[in-house]
Amino acid sequence: MSDMSQLARAIDEGDREKAVALAKEALNNGIDASEIISRGLQAGMSVVGDKYSSGEYFLPDMLMAARAMKTALEEIKPALGKTGIPTIGRVVIGTVAGDMHDVGKNVVATFLGGSGFEVHDLGLNVADQTFVDEVRARQADILGLSALLTTTMPLMGRIIQLLDEAGLRSSVKVIVGGAPVTQDYADYIGADAYAHDGGKAIRVCRQLMEK
């Protein structure tokens, strides 16, 4: 009998071998692949996100969990058939132009990818218009903008303005983050949401999808 909470715990512990073995066992026991992903892998990553947010976990814990998740996911992928990995929503994310900081953005992208979002990471130093073009091309539900410098932060407001001018503002939720960014600043530039770290970003993005 496969217990999805055991699989979630293996992800939480970053135990790659155990996660793969439990995922295989669940498949052999006839459990649906999408259920293994949502109730096992994604559930585990949500716990990791919360622990990271509360300061119980640090970056290496989250990276080990993400690695365990990725390997177990590879094991399950063939069983998903044509339906593919079930996705909660489509996210386009990147660091704004002139900003070469991408460690935090990568954490957020990994967390969101690991918790069931389809993530299109545009990288760093991304031109304003590229965000707009990619939101349109990918039909993104959420746009994530990262800025680590006080000098590049204002570009997030500019991108929101460009989305508006392109007629895309009502179809995409914008979430902003980065060390100097605050909830007040997010409100000031008209973003839909702000998250202080990758763990919170999972919860906030899930809430955005419910709206």
Residues that bind ligand B12 (CB under 6 A): 98-105, 107-108, 144-146, 148-150, 175-180, 195, 197-198, 201
Lookup result for tokens 């500019």: 158
CB of 27 to ligand B12, least distance (A): 32
- Inter-residue contact 104 to 199 (CB < 8 Å): no
CB of 177 to ligand B12, least distance (A): 2
Of 12 and 197, which has the nearer Cβ to ligand B12? Answer: 197
Of 37 and 92, which has the nearer Cβ to ligand B12? Answer: 92
- Helix (H) or strand (E) run with residue 144 in it: strand 142-146
CB of 146 to ligand B12, least distance (A): 3
Of 154 and 180, which has the nearer Cβ to ligand B12? Answer: 180
CB of 200 to ligand B12, least distance (A): 7
Rounded Cα gap, residues 156 and 29, in angstroms: 48
Of 102 and 128, which has the nearer Cβ to ligand B12? Answer: 102
Of 33 and 195, which has the nearer Cβ to ligand B12? Answer: 195
Beta bridge partners of 144: 93, 175
Beta bridge partners of 102: none
> 129: helix, coil or strand?
helix
Of 8, 23, 4, nearest to 74 by C-alpha is: 23
Rounded Cα gap, residues 114 and 130, in angstroms: 25
Residue 91 phi/psi, 5-degree rounding, is -120, 130
Of 40 and 199, which has the nearer Cβ to ligand B12? Answer: 199
CB of 42 to ligand B12, least distance (A): 18
CB of 114 to ligand B12, least distance (A): 13
Helix locations, 2-79, DSSP H = 4-12, 16-28, 33-35, 43-53, 59-76
